Amino acid sequence: SKRRQRRSRCARTAWRVKTVEEYEKSESKKVQTPKKYFKFSSLLDMVGIVQFKANLSAEALKQEQERRHCFHQFLQGVLQINPEDRWTPKQAMQHTFVNPEVPFDPNWRPPLD
């Protein structure tokens, strides 16, 4: 039947992203170099790029450093590319960054779901 033929044709269709060279050739134009808005290449760089306030006491500086470490740990957990390693929402909700009642632990690992 026509419906069955349509399904089988759709099932065989495969798409892929063109390479830069293929795009430039098909569109007859050069790809512009994107602007670089940020000067970091990792999450740790991103978290550390913001300067600390100059007038922080030693204790306040220590607390801010811990907050940033906590934030970095949280981002690393929820932004993992591999879904097997990525935290689930339930696991993320148990992290100190989201749940301040839990004391910060630099070696914190989420409990199994």
CB 73 within 8 A of CB 87: no
Q: Give the integer Cα–Cα distance in Å for 61 and 53.
A: 8
Q: What's residue 38's pLDDT?
A: 78
pLDDT higher than threshold 70 for residue 92: yes
Residue 43 pLDDT class (50, 70, 90 cuts)? confident
Q: What is the mean pLDDT of residues 62-84?
A: 94
pLDDT for residue 70: 94
Averaged pLDDT for residues 52-74? 92
Q: What is the rounded distance in angstroms from the CA atom of residue 108 to the CA atom of residue 112?
A: 12
Asked if pLDDT for residue 8 goes beyond 70, the answer is: no
CA dist 33 and 36 (Å) reads 9
Q: What is the reported pLDDT for 34?
A: 82
